[in-house]
Chains A and B, each alone.
Chain A
Amino acid sequence: MSPVPLFVAIPLGAAFLIPMLGIWWKKSGEVLAALSTVILAVMAILSIGSTAVTHHMGGWAPPVGIALVSDGLTVLLLIAVNVVAFLCILFSLKYMTAYSGLPKYYSLFMLMVAGMNGVVVSGDLFNLYVFLEIASIASYALVAFGTEADELEAGFKYLVLGSVASVMILFAIGTVYAVTGTLNMADAAREISLRFSGAGAMNPALLLAAAMFLMGFSLKAALVPFHAWLPDAHPSAPAPISAMLSGVVIKSLGVYAICRVFFHVFGFDPNVTSSVILANSMIWLAVLSIIIGGLVAVGQWDYKRLLAYSSIGQVGYVILGLGVGARVLATGGPRSLAALAILGGLFHLLNHAAFKSLLFLSSGAIQHATGTRDMKQMGGLRDKMPITSATTNLAALSISGVPPFSGFWSKLIILIAVVKAEHYVVAGIAIVMAFVTLVYYVKVQREIIFGSVRGAVEKAKEVPAAMYVPLIILAIVCVGFGLLYPVFGYRILEPARDALLNGAEYVKLVLG
């Protein structure tokens, strides 16, 4: 039996069991969550290099039945989501002891994981929407989990903006259904390419749907100007949740959905004039995110808020790579160039999942040890918390693109592709903003890690092993992806790239 449904079933089952067992068994959350995320992470890693499969729910073949699809792109996201989820659970075991209502926390956490896994494996649009809502609702609740004034404010803002996005996505799904008569993504893709290839632009209804999809998923991915919830929501959540939100939620709900819907369902067909405009809009959103996310991050003094703005900018790089690839496809440029751009984007997605979750977890460790996240009250952390500081430093170097760490390579590939695609102004902006990324991470190093011990750091002690082990694992990933890309990185990334590049393959895979 194919393991694809298990990626949804296991966390969903855990999410239901935890609060029920929690009535009698206090530790149900910790045990079940840890167990299920271990299994999921191992399953995800084992699925590297597996052939793409379609699982027919209940034995009904698509387009009538519901299909779960696992291709290269899905595997990439499954690895990111489940490995980060496992490490965040590991971190939570000690970190979350300060909170009450732990079974609820773990239950919501597993619900969020189930939603994300569901989004990446589902083969039809409406299931994608349902899982997206499951993950979103769980994350709204988790952001407000502290139920203090700030958490509630952030949670409510996130909820309202996220719901608007969901409404738009549902509207767009309805429109796609109205035009193509199907909800299965492969079927819809076939229908759209049959009807519009060579027919100039798509019809207005479909274009409206595309716009709404783009808006909805961009809001989930926190691209400027739809980003405003993120700098409030991510810092307010407990640290492991921040790590999940910034590390994987914005990617699986936002970036992945953009990939799937635009590359596969709508397709960047050079014969359809509107596809260039779609690709251009993606590039515009990406450039805006890179600029605004980067610049505002420089002015932050709240460590987690700085990281949150940094996420906006880095997701901008991911979308930039994908958008440039899309534009090359849409203008009928060389496919090898599109492949390079998409590879860069996906590589950065994976790297960002690693170093941003590391940074948010380290912010949690720092907050745990010092009781603050105000950078003005810190300094000299490396004398007090050597492991946390070293891993944070590594992640900061990686994200600001210092060779030989992973972030450098992914940004390099994106920039090479952008230059080759002859977007010179965009390339210039991307290089300057890569420098700005360096600036705010130097600020982090200067204010928190280096310098003499002062303020809240004086009484700090290194966090327990359950909290620093995830940091070390993620740090190894940051270094490893940079140096060992030729050894194993390509085995994850190249299938994902090929999946995005060949929309027709996807249709063939699902419909047989």
Chain B
Amino acid sequence: MTVYFLCAVLLTMGLYCLVAKKNIVKKVIGLVIMDYAVNLYLIIVGYKKGGVAPVIERGMNSSMLERFVDPLPQALVLTSIVIGLGVLALMVAMCIRIYERHGTFDMSQISKLRG
């Protein structure tokens, strides 16, 4: 339970960073923290205390199968990391362009579109 709670704390930290920080790079970092909080959460969901890697070998009996950690969340996390990477790359590229166009990293000043 504690780990889930810590996961939620990590998520909230990311969210706080995203909302409260003005600097565009810090916002990106906040988003990445959130992303990793969720990845962590997925891993924890599949984790078993004393679990082993889910690889079937010759001569395994059913009690061994019981001890496997759930492989599915790990696959999900891998995919999620890839997606996260894509988003991060796009975000960073946009940050560079924004700095070129607006001359600032302060997101609170980049508010021309309003109303």
Binding site for B on A (CB under 8 A): 126, 130, 133, 137, 140-141, 144, 147-150, 152-157, 159-160, 163-164, 166-167, 170-171, 173-175, 177-178, 183, 231-232, 236, 299-300
Contact = CB atoms under 8 A, between A and B. Distances in A.
B11 A236 contact: no
B99 to A, nearest CB: 10
Contacts of A140: 90
A174 B113 contact: no
B10 to A, nearest CB: 11
Given A140-B90, A171-B41, A299-B115, A153 B31 contact: no
Given A130-B83, A147-B97, A160-B18, A183 B31 contact: no
A232 B27 CA distance: 19
Closest 8 CB pairs of A and B: A149-B101, A232-B113, A178-B45, A174-B42, A133-B83, A167-B34, A152-B98, A170-B38
A164 B27 CA distance: 11
Nearest to B14: A167
Interface in B1-54: 11, 15, 18, 24, 27, 31, 34-35, 37-38, 41-42, 45
Contacts of A130: 79, 83
Given A137-B87, A183-B72, A148 B101 contact: yes
B24 to A, nearest CB: 7
A149 B11 CA distance: 31
Contacts of B73: 174, 177
A130 B81 CA distance: 11
Given A137-B90, A183-B72, A153 B102 contact: yes
Contacts of B115: 299-300
B111 to A, nearest CB: 8
B45 A153 contact: no
Contacts of A170: 38, 42, 80
Contacts of A232: 113
B11 A141 contact: no
**Which of B24, B83, B98 has most A Cβ within 10 Å?**
B83
Given A163-B35, A167-B34, A167-B37, 19 more contacts: A133-B86, A137-B83, A140-B90, A149-B102, A150-B112, A156-B110, A159-B94, A160-B27, A163-B31, A163-B87, A163-B91, A164-B15, A164-B18, A170-B80, A171-B38, A174-B42, A177-B72, A178-B45, A236-B113
A16 to B, nearest CB: 15
Nearest to B86: A137
Interface residues of B, number: 35
B76 interface: yes
Nearest to A134: B83
Contact of B35 (A150, A153, A167): A167
Contacts of B112: 149-150, 153
B24 A156 contact: yes
Nearest to B89: A137
A156 B94 contact: yes
Contacts of A175: 45
A153 B95 CA distance: 10
A263 B27 CA distance: 35
Interface of B: 11, 15, 18, 24, 27, 31, 34-35, 37-38, 41-42, 45, 72-73, 76, 79-80, 83, 86-87, 90-91, 94-95, 97-98, 101-102, 107, 110-113, 115
A160 B31 contact: yes
Contacts of B72: 177, 183
Contacts of A171: 11, 38, 41
Contacts of B101: 147-149, 152
B113 to A, nearest CB: 4
A425 to B, nearest CB: 29
B52 to A, nearest CB: 19
A385 B111 CA distance: 34
26 contacts: A126-B76, A133-B87, A140-B90, A144-B97, A147-B97, A147-B101, A152-B101, A153-B98, A153-B110, A153-B111, A153-B113, A156-B94, A157-B113, A159-B87, A160-B31, A163-B34, A163-B91, A164-B15, A164-B18, A167-B35, A170-B42, A174-B41, A174-B73, A177-B45, A231-B113, A236-B113
A260 to B, nearest CB: 19
A164 B34 contact: yes
A140 to B, nearest CB: 6
Nearest to A125: B76
B113 A150 contact: yes
Contacts of B90: 137, 140-141, 159
Nearest to A235: B113
B38 A167 contact: yes
A152 B72 CA distance: 37
A12 to B, nearest CB: 15
A150 B114 CA distance: 11
